[in-house]
Structure formats: structure tokens, C-alpha cells
Amino acid sequence: MPSNRRVVIAVFPDVDLLDVTGPAEVFALAGRESGGRAGYRVELAGPAEGLVRTSAGVRLAVDLTFEQVTGAVDTLLVPGAVEPGADGAGPRARIDREVVAWVERLAPSARRVASVCVGAHLLAAAGLLDGRRATTHWSTAAQLAADHPEVTVDPDPIFVRSGRIWTGAGISACMDLALALVAEDHGEELAMSVARHLVMYLKRQGGQSQFSVPLSTPPTARRDIDDLRLHIAEHPDADLSAAALAARMCLSERHFARVFRQETGTTPAAYVEAVRLEAARRLLEGTDRPLEQVAAASGLGSVETLHRTLRRRLGTTPAAYRKRFRVTGGP
């Protein structure tokens, strides 16, 4: 007997367009690929009747208002919106209190609740992520952790499931999340068929750290630390041990480690590894150089260390990463 699962997606001013249309397309294709046996009924709910302008400027028509959403809901899907940070800082998730109040009211009666991208901030504000592990877009993960210390924030996974609560990572990961929901409902065979039509991986290798920029920490209050970071980035294959970096700063190792962590939020060793990983990624994406040369030029030293670092930081191998992200026409 055909199923017709009701999916309600929140829409509100400046919502990210793909957060809404991406999952909707996945659910529509699931119905088509199953011959209607795995049907989903997608409804867009907004604060008022009429059109909602998204962050892309495209307007979406609301099917029903928040107050009109009654009856059984299989999946409540909550996307997000961002706003500029203060003083030129990166984007911040915007908390729409009307959406939060609606989620608080509707979530208990929904079989499953999922957030897309920075929609996790709305779930957290509604108290749905307390005591749970969750993810969000990597650029707002620190904000989510700071605003909600009761949530265990993991910025790397493409999506996280915690009981009936799902959280998804940045932007295009909304489709990975939707595919996972289809797989849970109807099995991986159907989800794989949908993924093929979307020219996607059903389960992509690695986390969202493979798409973020680990060197995106803002300038520090100390010029000498910023100069040191530039030196590290330009010479990943140099001696970048704590002793060598401390000597370059004319500080003791202990004092240097304390100052560096205070200014950057991470340890010198972790920062150097992130820089070397970034260098290795660029070489894997843009060249055909053997892994021995990639390891040496990036400062990771050996192929074994290259493998171990990619496995630990990105959840993949050098060969798999190169196959997935190789840019043709590189030197």
C-alpha cells in the first residue's frame, strides 16, 4: 500500500533557499523512483499566508501558516537563516523567536524532527538538543557551542542522528540528510536510486571539514602571532616544532604555547597540522604528484603520516580524496 508521509518544512524571511528545495526534491524523487510506493507529502509552513522571500531573493509560496499546522506530522524539517556578524566577523545564525515557539509547540507531536544547516540553532533554542550531540554549518558551530553549552556540538559530520532528532551540516548537506531519511524510511536501495538521479554519493566520504577552510581564524590582537601564522602557511615543510616556533618568537616554549593558544584558540601543534593538511589537500586536488612528494611538500613527512592524518581529520584516504576532488588540468 502506498505510503504518504507528511513532511512539514518551515519557511520564513531570509531562509536559505536550498535548505527548503533540496530536501523537497529528494522526497519528490523518492516517490517517483518507487512508483509512488514511497510517497511524501511536502508542505511549506510559514508565519503568514502568501509569499516568503528567501536569502536568494526567490519567493516561496506558503501552503499553510504555522497556526494552521494540525494533525499528524511525520517529519518536521527546520532550515535556518544567517545574518552578518558584528564588526565584519563571519555570519551568525539568526534566531527567529516565532519559529522557535512554533517548533516548541509542534515538535512533541512529530515522529521525527530534523534541522538543516543553521536550523540547528533554532532546535537548540527550542530545547530539543539539550544533552544531545548535534552538528550545524561549520562556520556557526562555535556560536552554537557558546550559546548552548548543554549541546555537544560536533562541527565535522555531514549529519548527526540522536534518537528522533536529526541535525544536518552546511547548505548542500541538506540533501545528504534527506537521503538518509529516505533510507531510514524505505531502505538504502531506494535512497541509492535517488542519489544516482541527483548525481550524488549516498554516503559521501569525509566530513564537512573537507569543505571548510581550517585556516579561517581571524587576525589576532598580536602582529607577531599573525606573522608567525603567515610563516607557517608559506613554509609547511619547514621545522615547525614548538621549539623552533618559540625560538622564532624569542619566547620560552611554555610561554609561547600559552600565548599562541590564547590568540588563536588552538595549540601550535594542532594549528601546524591543520596547515599541513590544507597544503596536502591542495596538492591532491591540483596535481598528480606521487603521495611521497605530497607528504614531503606538505610537511607531513611520510605517506604513512599523510594517510593517518586524512583518516583522522577527514575520514578518508589520500587516494579517495584525490579521486573525489581532483581538479582536471592541474600541473
Catalytic positions, written as ranges = 117
Radius of gyration of the chain (CA): 22
- Of residues 148, 155, 89, 164, the one with CA closest to residue 117: 155
Q: How many angstroms separate the CA atoms of 64 and 32, rounded?
A: 25
Residues near 29 by beta carbon (within 8 Å), at least 6 away in sequence: 194, 197, 198
Between CA 75 and CA 314 the distance in angstroms is 30
Q: Kind of pairing, strands 133-134 and 152-153? A: parallel
C-alpha cell at 274: 591543520
Q: φ, ψ for residue 195 (rounded to 5)?
A: -60, -40
Residue 100 near residue 126 (C-beta atoms within 8 A)? yes
Cα angle 96, 99, 104 (rounded to 5 degrees) comes to 125
- Calculate the alpha carbon distances from 260 to 199, 247, 290 in Å: 43, 13, 34
The residues, any chain, with a CB within 8 Å of residue 87's CB and separated by 6 or more, are none
Got the DSSP string for 46-78?
A: ESSSSEEE-TTS-EEE-SEEGGG--S-EEEEEE
Cell of 276: 599541513
